Each structure stands twice: as C-alpha cells, then as structure tokens.
Chain A
Amino acid sequence: MSTEQETQLTATRYRKYVYVWLSLIVLTSLTVSVARLHLTSYAILIAILIATTKAGIVVTFFMHLKNEPLILRLMLFVALLAFTLIALLTFSDVWYR
C-alpha cells in the first residue's frame, strides 16, 4: 500500500498498540501462573507455546509484518525453517546416542 494510506492507518494505531501490549501482559501473567502449577513434563512445552504466541504478536503487530509484502514473510519462514532443520538434525545425534 502507499505511504499515505499507511499513515492514515497509523493515525488510529496508538490505541491498537496499547491493546496489543495489554494482550502481551495478559499472556505474561498467564505463563507465570502456569509455572506455579508445577506441571513438570508439560511445563516447558506450554511455556514455549505461550512465548511463541507472544513473539508472534510482537512480530505481526509491533514489527508490522502483517502489512509488509509477502516476500518478507517468506524470508522469515525460510530462516525459521533453516533453524528448525538444524535443531532437528542436531537432536538426531543427541537423543539417539
């Protein structure tokens, strides 16, 4: 979209950003509460899931990825894929020794 259209959108954005921030705070308190439940084996998984949700919110709204061209999202996907594959291959060693 053009710069003018984007500026129009950002005119209403102060409030939207505060809502986004609120959701992040809520998720933070959620993850702290869950930690106190001491679920041991699931703890790490839930914590990572909540963290990923928070990260996704930051990337989508604060980092404006929602409004960026597709190519940037594609690049991000490639970078994440690269890291995931590296981790998986490393674990194929570490887990099966």
Chain B
Amino acid sequence: MNARENSPHSVSFYDDSGRYRGLFSWLFTTDHKRIGILYLISVLSFFAVGVTLGLLMRLNLIDPGRFISERTYNSLFTVHGVIQIFLFIIPAIPTTLGNFFLPLLIGARDVAFPRINLLSWWLFILGGLIVVLSIFTGGGAPDTGWTFYAPYSIRTASNVSLALFGVFILGFSSILTGLNFVTTIHRLRAPGMKWFRMPLFVWSLYATAWTQILATPILAIAVLLLVLERSFGIGFFDPTKGGDPILFEHLFWIYSHPAVYIMILPAMGVVTEIFPVFARKTVFGYKAIAFSSLAIAFFGYLVWGHHMFTSGMSDTSRIIFSLITFLVAVPSGVKVFNWIATLYKGSIEVYSPLLFSLAFIFLFSIGGLTGLINGTLSLNLYIHGTYFIVAHFHYTMFGGAGFGFFAGLHYWFPKMFGRMYNERAARTACFIMFIGFNILYFSMFILGLQGMPRRYFQYLPQFRTNHIISTIGSWIFVAGLLLMFGNLIWSLRKGKKAPGNPWGGKTLEWQVPSPPPRENFEEIPVITHGPYRFD
C-alpha cells in the first residue's frame, strides 16, 4: 500500500506520509501522535533507569555498605529523585497520553503549535542526556538530594552545575508543552464543544498546563542562580555574603510543590475518563470535578512552605502554610467522592484499566491522608526528614500518578497501537504490583514513625526488619512491573487487532480507527452534547 497515494484519512499515522521516511519521519515529525509515542519511549526508558537506581538503594538498605559506599548512596538517591521526578513522573501523562489524546478529545487535527511540540521533545531529550552526562563527568553524580539545598549544593565538588543545566532545559521543555496545551484548548476545540462539554481529562490538562506555565520559571531562576553561585560566587544563598539559604528553599519549593500537582492532576483526569466507561454511567458531578482541578492548581500554588516547616521560617508563615495545606485537600476529596459516586449503582465491567484506577484511588487516598498528617505543623516537626515523608510521596506520586499513568496506558493502548493486550496478564500484574507496592512503602510509614531518617546510608539495628521487608516488597513490585510491561510490549506485535472502540467509550477518540489516521478525523465533528452519555 503506497502511503502517498491514499488520502490522509484512511492511512494509520504510523505510515509515513510527509517529506521524510523511516527514522527521520519520526525525529522530525510534527504529528502530535508520533510525538506522544516518542515521549512514551523516552519517558519509560528514563523510568527504567530510575527504578534500577531505586532497587540499588533498597539493596543497600538490607545490608548497608556491603555493596555500595556512602558517597555512591548519596548519588543514588539524588539521581533517582532527579530522574523519576523530572524525567518520568512530571512529563509522563501530559507528554504521552496528553499529547496523543488532547487533540482527539477536543476534535482537533493537532495541537496549536506542532513544531513547538517537536521542540519540546528535543529539549526533553537534550535535558535528559545532560542529566545522565552529569553522572559520568566532572566531580561525579550529584550527591545533594534532588532538592539541591544550599549551602551544600554550592560547596560540593560533585557535578551539580551540569545536572542543573539539564534540569533548566527540561523546565523549558515543560513550559513549552504547557503553553501549547493552553492555546490548543482555547483555540482548537471542535464546533459546539463548549468548555463544559470537554472531557474531564482535558480540564485536568488545562489546569496542569497553567501550573507548568506559572511555576516552572521559578525553578528555572532557582537553578540558574545556584549555577551562578557555584560559578561566580554571587552570594544570594551564602550567609557570609549576606545571603539566605532559606530563600533558595523558597524559590525551589515555589515550583516543586505545584510540580506535584502537575504530576497528579493529569492522573486524576485519566481515571475520571475511565470510571464512566467501566461503570457504563455518566460521571457524577462533572462541574465539581472540572472546578476542583482548577482549585487544586490554584491552592497548590500557595502551600509550598509545608516542605520547610523545620527550616527556620517564621511562625506566622508556618501557620498560614499549614492552614492552606488543609484547604488543598478539599478539592481532592471532592474528586474521590465523585469517582465513588460514579461507580455507585453502575454496571461495572472489571477490566484492567478499571483495576489500575481503583488501585489509584486506594493508594492516592493513603498518600493524601498522610499528607494531612504531614501538613499538621506540630506533627511535621517530628516526621519531617523521616521515612514517613518518603512513604507519603511515593504513595501519592507513584501509587497515585504512577498507577494513574498505568491505568491510562491500559485504557488507551488499543487506540494508540491498534492491538489488545493480554487481559489476564494485565490483571495479574496489577495485583502483584499492588501487593508489592504496599509492602515496599507501608513499611516506610512505620520506619518513619519509629524515627528512621531519610537519605541515610545506614541505620540503627532496630530498623533492620522493616528495611528488609521493604526491600522484599521492592522485588515483588518490580516483578509485577516487568510482567505489566512485558505484556504490553509483547502485545505490540502479537496482540489481537483492536477495534475502533473496544471499551464502548463515548469520547471522540473512540470514533476514529485504532490507530488513528494522520489527520485524526475525516471531518471535524460538530458537538451537540457533553461526553459520558451512557443511556
């Protein structure tokens, strides 16, 4: 079949149709679907590296010093954090599922700025490579923790500057994606698709995009100043020159707290798409979910100080931050309530996207509720810097955003690749991962309450049992992860061919073939009602 002779509406987007052929047709593509696939490969590659580093950390912690030195351990948790945060969980859903499905969901042919979309990916690769390069050059991999606090980040000989340069570029990539999505959602919705007729995943991408736009520049200036301080001795964060290290923490967390909402909002959007389909019932409280996305983005912008309760901030600010932290939990609670209400009295079809989404609710709720504990100023003084925090953020970022990502992968796999995966294997993987995850991380809550500090290379003997349990959990979890990805990768070639709408979904992506053609729609649809109509 000659791709050039067919109309762009009958040929899958995998077939080359432009100026380039083969590899170049991918590396120079401006098709949002191909860019989504490129991001998927990149993000999952970095995720694999990050997971390996995590396994090495857990390996050290069953017998500290046996396999890994102190200096190496410090670099392990630093690079693990940098990779998993900046190269996996922040970009994952927006750049893969978001890029692929945003235009489809709003009835558009592509995003507003396709070439900037490609540039975003190139910057992502460039930034990622620079971060990886920083591990092997200069003074060696950074050992400051992913938070790069001054003054240590200024004094350490490890390759902080290069790693931060990589982070700077990654930030720029993120900003461009956010800019693209905001403009796309404002300008390219199909005729008749009013704001309140958009799928809720789009609302979540919109809120996320604004957060990317308004928060990431602060990170950019924070890391830039750190590099300038290392290179030129500027002194903003050096008390001997009149500077204040806490100001670095402020600049850092002004971005890095909203960043966690960049991670979780899209995941919430994904599961909001999944529940109505597998309950055969319209979503409960559409407007509440839409507005709660905006509310989370807004309030999430104002709580960063809760990462700094023990750093030396004023009492006034700590009380204010604690209060707003409690407020930000409310819209998240609204969403959980609405998801459950969507399932209630629905006609439930138990497929793996639903299972991953249910796991998401469970794990994210634990994470979110422990977030309230962390946000309580008085309690925070005891658990800051302990494994309690480590457990909390893994439950929210990994159990939440991570499982949400896996849910979305399974839900949209047929559409993206034109194949079905093995449902049994997917379910089994989900169960194994769920069990492994809880063993791996719940033990950390206990460790934290018992007083085990985070980022410590070794520990007192009383913590040994829970560390061993946690490491065994990591092995179980990774076994499930391997099964899950093995299933998906195998199914790329060997899976049954997928129909256009295997799940019976009502949103626009299910009205086009699997995989979609190059220009998405033969004719741009005219929208006359909201999504999720299941009667």
Q: In the complex, are there CB atoms of A and B closer than 8 Å? A: yes
A residues with a Cβ closer than 8 A to B are 71, 78-79, 82, 85-86, 89-90, 92-97
Q: Which residue of A lies closest to B210 (CB)?
A: A78
- Contact A89 B214, beta carbon cutoff 8 Å: no
Alpha-carbon separation in the docked complex, A79 to B175 (Å): 14
Interface centre among A78, A94, A95 (most CB of B within 10 A): A94
Max count, chain B CB within 10 A of own CB: residue among A71, A79, A92:
A92
- Give a binary string over B309-352; 1 marks a CB under 8 Å from any A CB, 0 the rest: 00011111100110000000000000000000000000000000
Among residues of B, the one whose C-beta sits closest to the C-beta of A90 is B250
B-side contacts of A82, CB under 8 Å: 214, 301
**A89 and B302 form a contact (CB under 8 A):** yes
Closest Cβ of chain B to A77, distance in Å, is 12
Q: How far is the CB of B261 from chain A (nearest CB, A)?
A: 13
Count contacts between A and B, CB distance < 8 Å: 40
Our pick among B246, B254, B301, B320 for the contact of A92 (Cβ within 8 Å) is: B320
Closest to A91 in B: B317
CB closest residue in chain A, given B308: A93
Q: Is the CB of B214 within 8 A of A93?
A: no
Chain B residues contacting A71 (CB-CB under 8 Å) are 186
When distances are taken between beta carbons in the complex, the residues of chain A under 8 Å from B317 are 89, 92-93, 96
The answer to whether A97 touches B314, judged by C-beta atoms less than 8 angstroms apart, is yes
Is B103 an interface position by the 8 A CB rule?
A: no
Interface of A is mostly: helix
Count of B interface residues, CB-CB < 8 Å: 19
- Asked whether A85 and B250 contact (CB < 8 A) given A93-B314, A93-B317, A96-B315, the answer is no
Q: With A93-B313, A96-B316, A96-B317 as given contacts, are A86 and B254 in contact (CB-CB < 8 Å)? A: yes
CB within 8 A of B314: which of A85, A86, A95? A95
Q: How far is the CB of A11 from chain B (nearest CB, A)?
A: 28
Closest chain B CB from A94 CB (angstroms): 8
Enumerate chain B residues within 8 angstroms of A86, measured Cβ to Cβ: 218, 254, 301-302
Contact (Cβ within 8 A) B302 A92 = no
B302 and A85 form a contact (CB under 8 A): yes
When distances are taken between beta carbons in the complex, the residues of chain A under 8 Å from B314 are: 92-97
On chain B, the residues within 8 Å of A79 by CB distance are 214
CB distance from A91 to the nearest CB of B (A): 9
Complex interface: chain A residues within 8 A of B316 (CB): 92-93, 96
- B302: which A residues are within 8 A, CB to CB? 85-86, 89
B305 in contact (CB, < 8 A): yes
Q: Which single residue of chain A is at the shortest CB-CB distance from B303? A: A89
The minimal Cβ–Cβ distance linking B300 to chain A, given in whole angstroms, is 11
In the assembled complex, the Cα of A97 lies from the Cα of B186 at a distance in Å of: 43
Q: Do residues B315 and A85 form an inter-chain contact, with CB atoms below 8 A?
A: no
- A71 CA / B195 CA spacing, docked (Å): 14
Q: Which 4 A-B pairs have the closest CB atoms?
A: A96-B314, A93-B317, A96-B316, A92-B317
Cα distance, A93 to B305, chains bound together (Å)? 9
Interface centre among A79, A82, A96 (most CB of B within 10 A): A82
Kindly state the separation between the CA atoms of A40 and B387 in the bound complex, as whole angstroms. 50
Beta-carbon contact of A89 and B315 below 8 Å: no
In the complex, how many angstroms separate the beta carbon of A93 from the nearest chain B beta carbon? 4
Give complex CA distance A82, B297 in Å.
11
A86 to B316, CA, bound (A): 15
